[in-house]
Amino acid sequence: MNNKKNDLIAGMNCGDVSDHLSDYYDGDIPEELCSKIEQHVESCTDCYAVFNTFNKTIELYKEEAEGVKVSDDARHRLHTVLHLEDLLKDH
Ligand SMILES: [Zn+2]
């Protein structure tokens, strides 16, 4: 039996990551937890896809989107996690 959803990556499963997703973007969680989420996302294709989709939403709507509040720090971290550093350099 191989149930990927229950795999722990960096001490978190996918449910833990999605639970903390909005806090992550708010920049409202401890550094240690941020690092764990980032380690998980870099090793988990499912969560990587979720982050990537969320990132595109942010880039598309930026500050105009109501209810989407992302700190600059979180945005920068997100780009690093998704290996989109080149995107930041262009701006
Ligand atoms: Zn995951």
* Chain segment 28-77, per-residue pLDDT in tens: 889 999 999 999 999 999 999 999 988 887 777 665 555 666 777 788 88
Distance 45 CA to ligand 1 centre (A): 7
Would the pTM count as exceeding 0.75? no
Cβ burial, residue 89 (10 Å; 0-12/13-18/19+): exposed
Distance 19 CA to ligand 1 centre (A): 11
Each domain of the chain, given as residue ranges in start order, spans: 11-89
The pLDDT of residue 1: 44
Residues with CB under 5 A from ligand 1 (ion): 14, 44, 46-47
Distance 91 CA to ligand 1 centre (A): 30
Please determine, for residue 2, whether its predicted confidence score (pLDDT) is greater than 50: no
Distance 9 CA to ligand 1 centre (A): 7
